[in-house]
Structure 1
Amino acid sequence: MPKPTFRTYGDDIPEARRDRPQPKRSSTGSNLALVIGAGAAVVAATVATWLLTRMVPAPDASVLEPNVPTAAPEPTDKPALSSEEARAPDDGVLGHLPYDEAQASDLVALTADGRIRLHAIAAADFIEMQAAARADGILLEPLSGFRTLSEQDYLFFGIAAQRSQNPSDRANVSAPPGYSEHHTGYAVDIGDGRVPATHVEETFEDTAAFDWLQANASRFHFELSFPRNNSQGISYEPWHWRYVGDRDSLEAFYKARQLDRQ
């Protein structure tokens, strides 16, 4: 029930009472009337409050307390990943994983001029693999081995500037410094000595050297680092192989991948 509205003045006395003449009473009568009036006012206020609580609906708790917890939604099955999502690159830098730089004292020359170096055990197995390939009429030519951080810095940033490539585009064909397998001293780029035009090109996959590597490299503990549709999302590199023939080399590549997924 809505309260009546009164127009008030400065002393807050309702206008309806101000206009009503007040009869003269004795002091005793006046005091009794005040007591009775006060009691009646209390009773009336109590009754009015009770009526209002019966008439006004309870407030909505969600309005007064927006953070009131609600029932959890029914769980739904997650959609299956698409083939592209399943091949999403691991976290790292532009899809590349971090690798420590090998110590110079752990490296040996793979070529006569000393330009290409690998860990001693990787170099020994590569030379043995090279000899086996030569016996089959295949010339495996090492093109690149260990790289320092400064060398990789130039290959990534310097070449990117020359070719006007942004970092994402450059990362498709080269790793940022600190994120190249070549830092480990266990990675080697291989070419076909009879077809130099295919060196560090995808067309290397059409050579006899690549066919021989696919069939025989695992016998010498070498594996292709970036096959087609690899999990890191790196462009296909048929020339890039890595050595995984001892504990250190295995941990260098597979531990980095495992840590990246955690």
Structure 2
Amino acid sequence: MDNASLSRKPSPTSEFGVDEIPEAVRDNPYPEAKPSQSQKKRLIWKLAGLGVLAFGVSIWLHLNFNFFPATSRAEQTEQNPAPASSASPSATSPVAKSTTGKSGPVTPDNLLGHLPYQEAPASDLVAVTPDGAVKLRSSAAAKYQDMVNAAAASGIYFAPISGFRSLEDQQHVFFDVKAERKQDVSKRAEVSAPPGYSEHHTGYAIDLGDGSSPDSNLSQSFENTPAFKWLEANATTFSFELSFPKNNRQGVSYEPWHWRFVGDRQSLETFYKAHSIKK
């Protein structure tokens, strides 16, 4: 054995000697591993799941056992006020009995089932009979003449009885005739309007008879005449309509002879919009 081999130091078996190992390493030779990123995510999802589960349980307890105190009704009303009512006027309008005992809408100007109308201006009145006794407003007169011509082409001849009436005319029709027939005002109002409340004041209304059946004039039997049958089928073509059909909402007696013109804005508003009358 040569000196070189004897003098060579043996290679160390470890990096440190026993005494040189740090104390922390000696006490915990297997240090705790830090959680990975995937483990952190799984932990977050578990916590979120537990939170959702707890919330669901609390809701279930509240719904089934009233576990939590409910908000008072007053607080609920204040927080969630009820929506404003959207009921239609017809559902909320007061209702009163008409002269015939039928229910009808109450309007501020309603009198014995009739509504107020202004007199037509004399400058706009046009005669529709040769003697000038029956007049209508110009727009109504023009359409009426067209209707007369169309009816005549079918062999139907109207007998115009009454058109525009002044307040004085209606005074006689209502009060004087009432006295002659010994009627009370309610009974008279079933067949005639008080002064200031007649459609005839407007110049848009006309009473018609059948030229071949004068006995039916101003009678409900007029509905059986050829003239009425023709009007029933064709009057709307010329913008005329029956004012007081059977069971009308104003409670006025059925008048098959009484027709009104609604062929322009002014006439339409007169009978519908201004007085809230619905057909």
TM-score when normalising by structure 2? 0.61
- Match of 1:147, SS state, is coil
What is the one-letter code of the residue matched to 2:198? S
- 1:142 and 2:142 aligned: no
Deviation at 1:109, TM superposition (A): 0.7
CA shift, 1:255, in A, is 2.2
Identity %, equivalent residues: 58
CA distance in 2, matches of 1:151, 1:140: 23
Q: Which residue of 1 aligns with 2:128?
A: 110
5+ long unaligned stretches in structure 2: 1-96
State the partner residue of 1:7: none
Letter in 2 for 1:242: R
C-alpha displacement of 1:89: 2.8
Q: Distance in 1 between matches of 2:186 and 2:262?
A: 28
Whether the 8 Å contact between 1:138 and 1:208 is mirrored in structure 2 is yes
User: How many residues align structurally?
Assistant: 178
- For the pair 1:207 / 2:222, whether they are aligned, the reply is no
In structure 2, how many angstroms separate the alpha carbons of the residues matched to 1:88 and 1:255? 20
Contact kept, 8 Å, 1:98 with 1:256, in 2: the verdict is no
Q: Contact 1:172–1:235 (CA<8 Å) still a contact in 2?
A: yes
Equivalent residue number for residue 88 of structure 1? 103
Distance, in Å, in 2 between the alignment partners of 1:186 and 1:98 is 14
Of 261, 267, 271, the residue aligned with 1:243 is 261
Q: Which has the higher contact order (CA 8 A, sep 6+)?
A: 1
Q: Which residue number in structure 2 is paired with residue 184 of structure 1?
A: 202
Partners of 1:241 and 1:90 lie apart in 2 by: 22
| Structure 1 unpaired stretches of 5+ | 1-83
Q: TM-score, normalised by structure 1?
A: 0.65
Contact 1:156 1:174 in 2 (8 A): yes
Query: How far off its partner does 1:87 sit?
Result: 5.0
In structure 2, the residue corresponding to 1:225 is in which secondary structure? strand
SS of residue matched to 1:257: coil
For 2:257 and 2:152, the matched residues in 1 are separated by: 18
- The offset of 1:124, in angstroms, is 0.8
Please give the per-residue CA displacement for 1:218-254, whole angstroms capped at 9, x wherever unaligned: 0000000000000000000000000000011001111
Pair 1:177–1:90, CA change in 2 (3 A): farther
SS in 2 for 1:89: strand
Whole-angstrom CA distance in 2 between matches of 1:197 and 1:90: 35
Q: In the alignment, residue 213 of structure 2 is paired with which amino acid?
A: V
Question: Which residue does 1:228 correspond to in 2?
Answer: 246
Equivalent residue, structure 1, for 2:147? 129
The answer to whether the 8 A contact 1:97-1:256 is kept is no
Compute the displacement of 1:142 (Å): 1.0
In structure 2, what is the Cα distance between the partners aligned to 1:144 and 1:217?
Answer: 17
Q: 1:1-262 alignment to 2 at 5 Å?
A: 88-91=103-106, 92-258=110-276
Mapped partners of 2:177, 2:264: distance in 1: 34
